[in-house]
Structure 1
Amino acid sequence: MQKFKILWADDEIDLLKPHIMFLEQKGYEITTVNSGVDAIEKVEEQNFDVIFLDEMMPGMTGLETLQQVKILKPQTPVVMITKSEEEHIMDDAIGGKIADYLIKPINPNQILLSVKKILQNKQLITEKTNLFYQQDFRNISMAYNDAIDHKEWSDIYTKLTYWELEIDKTENKSMQEVLDTQKTEANANFAKFIKENYLDWLNEPNIEKPILSHQVMKEKVFPKLKEGKPLFFIVIDNLRLDQWEIIEPLLSPHFNVESDETYYSILPTTTAYARNALFSGMMPIDMARFHPDLWEGEDTDEGKNNHEEEFLKVNIQKNRLNIKSSYHKILQVNQGKAVLDNFTNLINNDLNVLVYNFVDMMSHARTDMKMIKELAPNESAYRSLTESWFTHSSLFELFKKISESGAEVVVTTDHGTKRVHRPYKIIGDRTVTTNLRYKQGKNLNFESGKVFEINKPDEAKLPKFNISTSYVFAVEDYFFAYPNNYNYYVNYYKDTFQHGGVSLEEIIVPLVHLTPKNY
């Protein structure tokens, strides 16, 4: 066990002998001094793991000593001990960046708890997190090996995401490999579940099914509209559940979470299909059939989501809503700033829909740019990059303004992304789509097995562009690769974040209702 060194400064240090002996018996090395001046000398001479300062020392007070210690050793944690309960002293100590604040009389266990909290926090968190995950491991495995429904799959993915974030906080991440293996196994079982149930959800009206992309606005957004109170519907493109869980704590000072749910993205899990379905309230086959002027097929070079605003208006009219609405797509910093500058006009609308594309651009940039790949070499760093973006984004500023105005928010995404590792050979002609996680076209050749194949697009509510059109979706962490130039293709796209296929990460996505906290 590491022997931690503690400096204790108190003008009545002799009276603390029992406390000091207690800590020494617990394995800590204690250095004692009688004044702030002596404490400063010791800090200049050597390093300590934690410093205890009495606030009421004669001469140099504890607060004055604290200031000098923070100049000399800003990273050394300091615990302030005082007889006074005056608020201004607490404020000054907290403002001086103390690690803890104890009020006399103190007992040895109080001191021990403070030391453990400061010095062994990560170690204790690691031990308990690993222990609790090991205990839950069997429950999760048993759950996804049983015949379960869409709600239970959502619960399993939420629980796996929870453990991923908890293990990420541990010192050596020793359980990460075990969790990765469990997620791989869960994804394999989830792919079987989707193959067995997805088409039934779309064609059998009387069975239990999840909320799908085209139902989100009707079921979860429009019912929250209130007369005289604006509602913001914010879609962060490509946002996975784990990324939302990283963002949510940043919003907690401003919002209460009224509901924290998930919904299932339709296939393909791409902008062209899933996000257009989200805004239009229709499946792709109906968008193509009833609104050919708005739907961009796979055979065109046009952007596949250029008509979201028009689809949104169609959805509003279809639901017979007499409301004033706005739509904004934010791709660049200046567009985000323009939304903030226009906020006073937005709060006069019943519904404001905003699409933020940064996370999608980040996933594509990670594929194309070596620097981004080095900044986000793994899932943990990818989440960290998302958090850093959000903290400094115009979107965060918008959330704060919304909270201050008293408006409510529904936050969601169109689909998530999957980090792909394993190539899957497929052959097709020049008309086949280029997406790595799904292929749409005719005369597709591939080895059956680790794919979800749909030969009758009508059953999946997908448009078909000729008689022999079929759709093939990659599952788990596979990605499609053509035989020609195979090695280059595989090396370039392996370990990149992709979407379009079947995985927990792509299909089960966050859907959250926030209400302002301090309005």
Structure 2
Amino acid sequence: MQNTRGHILWIDDEIHHLKPHILFLEEKGYILSQAANGQDGIALSEQNNYDLILLDQSMPGLDGLETLAELKKNRSSLPVIMITKTEDEWLMDEAITGQVEQFLIKPVNPSQIFMACKQTLEKIKLHEQKATSDYLKEFQEIEAQLSNELNVDDWWRLYDRLTDWQIKFDHYNDTGLGSILKEQIQTCNREFINFIESNYESWMQSNNRPTLSVDIVPKYVKPILDKGEKVCLLVVDCMRHDHFKSMMALLEPFFNIKLDYKLSLLPTATPYSRNAIFCGLFPDDMVKKYPKQGDDMKNDSTSLNQHEKQFLIDQLKKMDLGDKRVHYHKIWAVEEGNKFNNRIKDYLQQDILALVVNFVDILAHKSSQMDVLKEMVPDESGYRTAVRSWLNHSWLLQVLKKLSENNFTVILTSDHGSIRVQRDVMVAADREASSGVRYKYGRNLNTKEKNAIVIKEPEKFRLPVFGPQPSYIIAKDDVYFIYPNQAHKYQSKFKNSFQHGGISMEEMMVPVAIMKGRG
């Protein structure tokens, strides 16, 4: 039986008339069992582990629908193909809600039956084979592309392709290509880091640069407000591109989605990249205009984004949009999210609704602290699954539905992404250095340059200068920083966890989704 294509039970009161069909399926490699009524079919199903049931609707005694219900009670995942003479829509509806795989109308020829069986039993295998063939071809194309000089748009398209393959392989675990894709992403990341090192400093001094965190409001929000339309700026903290792509299917029933991208500022962390979205300023100018923010950053405060509402209001005033009605809301707990959802009608008259949602970031950080979350989010695939499941069952999806129905354009983005860290790297720093795992600032910080960008002149990177002999170190690849005297403690805590602050495609290349309601 191991060499067969599957074991099928065919239940039909006229089974003796179906000998040609049965012989045809057996020639194709299937094993066929037969039952002439629903009761016998149910009994056989309870005694045998069939791969598929072919079920007639019009039978004396138990009809097809009644038999279907009993079969599903015994094994809810058992695939069933229903075959009937009638084309009544009510019957189709009942069969579909009863979880049949396909609905065939008699008369059916042997080839039709074979095709239906093949599609039901082998579709995953066929999809996996096609995915394997397509990826191996694309693997070569991507490798060849890396030998060319890529601009930032090229890098986004390449990263987008890799992300699509990550999500596809989430569904097809048996291809054996997941490890190859992971290695290819690592290879691409090394080239991407070289690209950033070669270009980032010049971008900081020029208007001829990619879209950065500071450009989100001017480029995406302002044009909507200028037309007198309502907009929601939704920042999902720490959301990666693959997270958004995995959530798109949940959003598309309500929105037409146009996907763009931006680069997070360095370091890829909230004090720099998220504050830059709301104030529209590079970090060096931000701390000059808002000294209190600079003090918080210098002291490595636990709250480094408490001024975002004021930042946004000031940025709108600078763009002559100071008359717009603004509501800002930061949501870090489900209770607060539910309260916001219940009161959404109070905010629908605002011109701009600014939301910051922290779930994805909290999940990343807590997964390094709680064993149960480490098991739920062991890798990138688990992280995507957790984020998608959260959105599907969260207050946020309900809010987005209501915004889509009330003429809001939603600009959904993130401040930065994250990367799963694997390798610890020793760093030399004094006790005044900041506490980041993927970036640090302080006096005379040092580590090997193959593992990090070491910045001795912060002003060239538009970074604040805190005290004498200032320096920053920003991690490359999948490394995280540890101190020699606490190496074991941090190794056990952070290895395989998701962190941010450094340079990688996952951290820097952030989606910007322009979402307009379908209604």
TM-score normalised over the length of structure 1? 0.96
**1:462-492 Cα deviation digits (max 9, x unpaired):** 1101242121111110111111122332232
Q: Which position in structure 2 is the counterpart of 1:315?
A: 315
* Counterparts in 2 of 1:228 and 1:87: CA distance versus 1, 3 Å: farther
**1:270 corresponds to 2:266:** no
What SS does the aligned partner of 1:235 have?
Answer: strand
Once residues 117 and 218 of structure 1 are traced to their aligned partners in structure 2, the CA distance between those partners, rounded to angstroms, is 50
Instruction: Answer whether contact 1:122 1:171 (CA < 8 A) is retained.
Output: no
Q: What CA distance in whole angstroms lies between the structure 2 residues aligned with 1:335 and 1:54? A: 52
Compute the displacement of 1:228 (Å): 6.2
Q: Which residue of 1 aligns with 2:233?
A: 233
- Spell out the pairing of 1:71-470 with structure 2 (5 A cutoff): 71-205=73-207, 207=208, 209-225=209-225, 229-257=229-257, 259-295=258-294, 296-301=296-301, 303-321=303-321, 322-470=323-471
Letter in 1 for 2:499: Q
Task: For residue 264 of structure 1, report the CA deviation from its aligned partner.
Answer: 0.5
Can you list the C-alpha shifts for 1:397-439, whole angstroms capped at 9, x where unaligned?
A: 2112222334321111100001001111110111211101111
Q: Within 2, Cα distance between the matches of 1:134 and 1:365?
A: 36
2:300–2:435 contact (8 Å) kept in structure 1: no
Structure 1 residues 73 and 177, CA, compared in 2 at 3 Å: closer, same or farther? same
Distance in 1 between residues matched to 2:189 and 2:129, nearest whole Å: 27
1:22 maps to 24
- The Cα offsets for residues 235-277 of structure 1, whole Å up to 9 and x where unpaired, read as 11000111111111112222221x1122100001001110000
Distance 1:89 1:31, change over 3 A: same
Q: Deviation string for 1:341-374 (max 9, x for gaps)?
A: 2211211111101111011111111011111112
* Cα distance in structure 1, aligned partners of 2:443 and 2:109: 77
- Equivalent residue of 1:355, what SS? strand
* C-alpha contact 2:129 2:175 (8 A) present in aligned 1: no
Q: CA RMSD in A?
A: 1.6
Distance in 1, Cα, partners of 2:251 & 2:245: 11
In structure 2, what is the Cα distance between the partners aligned to 1:459 and 1:42? Answer: 76
Cα distance in 1, alignment partners of residues 180 and 477 from structure 2: 17
Which residue number in structure 2 is paired with residue 481 of structure 1?
Answer: 482
Taking only the aligned residue pairs, the percentage that are identical comes to: 37
Query: Structure 1 residue 78: deviation in Å?
Result: 0.8
Q: Secondary structure at the match of 2:367?
A: helix
CA distance in structure 2 between the aligned counterparts of 1:416 and 1:86, rounded to whole angstroms:
51
SS in 2 for 1:172: helix
Partner of 2:504: 503
Whole-angstrom CA distance in 2 between matches of 1:38 and 1:276? 69
Equivalences, count: 515
CA distance in 1, matches of 2:181, 2:117: 31
Q: Judging changes above 3 Å, is the alpha-carbon distance between structure 1 residues 110 and 407 closer, same or farther for their aligned structure 2 residues?
A: farther
Per-residue CA deviation, residues 128-172 of structure 1 (Å, 9 max, x unaligned), is 111111110011111123210000001111111111111221142
1:226–1:87 distance in 2 versus 1, CA, 3 Å: farther
Asked if the contact 2:225/2:231 (under 8 Å) is kept, the reply is: yes
After TM superposition, the structure 1 stretch with the greater mean CA deviation from structure 2, 4-13 or 288-297, is 288-297
CA shift for structure 1 position 2: 4.4
Partner residue in 2 for 1:64: 66
CA drift of 1:513 comes to: 1.2
Query: Judging changes above 3 Å, is the alpha-carbon distance between structure 1 residues 73 and 445 closer, same or farther for their aligned structure 2 residues?
Result: closer
CA distance in 2, matches of 1:456, 1:109: 73
Distance 2:75 2:137 in 1: 41
